Chain A
């Protein structure tokens, strides 16, 4: 189906622009291998979709923050991300659900990639809890974060005073923090990741070694 082959620059630009043609191309060229890797390692198709989406978001964020150097292929990087996300999830499942993980399975633990995965999971959780807030709370928090003057926020929201806006902002922020900290995922993320980081087999990611997919 794809007669065009994209260069590295075209791919990175396309990802950053959310270009649907480029994203379709990445899906078609990478996803089958990723799904195979996951289903061969006790996952199902839905796990593969989930992992692929998370990996794409990490890739997007890293490109946006210019954290990726052009040393290998994007496909290779995406595959490594997916592999780490998947084995990390399996590992966490063994800690919290008590299922067994075959420790003879070979998997890469690159501390930098792992930290990106954890960060992505935290940000996903915070964002999803933010979406659970009321529309007004979300608007107030967004405006505060965007540096909108408090008088303008008071006027836009139709609040009676600046003090009321400040109280409202405080309550919304506290409610968000409470929602996050009360979630099971938060406990798993904070404590699970600490446990996982102890005594894991690890090696540094070597460009070129893991690129072939």
Chain B
């Protein structure tokens, strides 16, 4: 449209409520398509709500039993250094508190077929389609077992899908095989997977490594080390 045609169109739209309403509908549709960050935020909130609900229902179930058990426990432990435990958190609580799906700012796009298959798992993961991402990553690794990026995504997807043992298997393979730029991410999710598996000792080793170097997980690793049993 020329500027003159555009001006005429806008003027006629002003006088036509139906056209205006259709235009604002189309603008909102475009807005919805472009709202990737909001969609991601919704997924984050959704996963927090479901995790907290799971955690709370678990707590309620154990609450009745715990009430009786705690009376006995308090009697036994009173005066025997109970203070030592008061500021410590359960592994599961720590995991719930600190875990969030891996997020990266940019996803490379490429015309290369292999690169597109590599990207498929990443893109699906970033969009929150974890089951599909898991399948894509497995397929890609069958033909390209050396693809460390996809292995990383398989690891974090397994963790998201509540398979910490597989996450550990995949992420451990990357500890020595990957470039140093990815190491903090690998260590962080591997440590969280250990935490999820109640393997506190292995988790601690990794959190210590993360807290000793400059990386984005450093402060969180330090906090966890203070809270961990």
- Do A and B share a complex? yes
Best-surrounded residue of B31, B33, B99 (most CB of chain A within 10 A): B33
Set of chain B residues within 8 Å of A127, measured between Cβ atoms: 32-33, 35, 39
Binds A, one of B11-19, B42-50, B152-160: B42-50
B74 located at the interface, meaning its Cβ lies under 8 Å from any Cβ of chain A in the complex: no
Chain B: interface secondary structure?
helix
Judge whether A180 is part of the interface by a CB distance below 8 angstroms. Answer: yes
Interface stretch (choices A48-56, A97-105, A200-208)? A48-56
Cβ contact within 8 Å between A49 and B32: no
Q: Which of B81-115 contact A (CB under 8 A)?
A: 89, 93, 96-100, 103, 109, 111
CA A180 to CA B99, docked complex, whole Å: 35
B99 to chain A, nearest CB (A): 7
Docked pose: A18 CA to B38 CA in angstroms:
10
Closest chain A residue, CB of each to CB of B39: A127
Q: Which residues of B contact A123 (CB under 8 A)?
A: 28, 31-32, 35, 38
A28, A53, A180: the one within 8 Å of B42 (CB): A53
B52 at the interface (CB under 8 A from A): yes
Q: Return chain B residues, CB-CB under 8 Å to A130.
A: 29, 32-33
**Nearest-neighbor residue (CB-CB) of A2 within chain B:** B97
Instruction: Verify A21–B98 contact, CB threshold 8 A.
Output: yes
B74 to chain A, nearest CB (A): 20
CB-contact partner of B98 in A1, A20, A49, A141, under 8 A: A20
B residues 157-200 with Cβ under 8 Å of A? none
| Residue B41 lies at the interface, judged by CB distance under 8 Å to chain A | yes
List A contacts of B98 (CB < 8 A): 20-21
> Are A126 and B111 in contact, with the CB atoms below 8 A?
no
Give A44-73 interface residues, CB cut-off 8 Å to B. Answer: 45, 49, 52-53, 56-57, 60-61, 64
Residue A155 at the chain B interface, CB threshold 8 Å: yes
Enumerate chain A residues within 8 angstroms of B89, measured Cβ to Cβ.
Answer: 1
Give the size of the chain A interface in residues (CB under 8 angstroms). Answer: 34
Residues A53 and B49 in contact, CB atoms below 8 Å apart = yes
- Residues from chain A with a CB closer than 8 A to the CB of B32 are 122-124, 126-127, 130
Q: Which residue on A lies nearest to B41, using beta carbons?
A: A60
**27 cross-chain CB contacts under 8 A:** A18-B44, A18-B100, A20-B99, A23-B45, A23-B48, A27-B49, A52-B45, A52-B49, A53-B49, A57-B38, A57-B45, A60-B41, A122-B28, A123-B31, A123-B32, A123-B38, A124-B32, A127-B33, A130-B29, A130-B32, A142-B33, A142-B34, A145-B30, A145-B33, A155-B111, A156-B111, A180-B29
Q: Which residues of A contact B (CB under 8 A)?
A: 1, 18, 20-21, 23-24, 27-28, 31, 45, 49, 52-53, 56-57, 60-61, 64, 119, 122-124, 126-127, 130, 141-142, 145-146, 155-156, 176-177, 180
16 extra interface residue pairs, beta carbon distance < 8 Å, beyond A49-B49, A124-B32: A1-B93, A18-B41, A21-B98, A23-B45, A24-B96, A27-B52, A52-B49, A53-B42, A53-B45, A56-B45, A57-B38, A57-B42, A60-B38, A61-B38, A126-B31, A142-B33
Q: Please give me the 4 A-B residue pairs with the lowest Cβ-Cβ distance, nearest first.
A: A126-B32, A20-B100, A127-B32, A123-B32
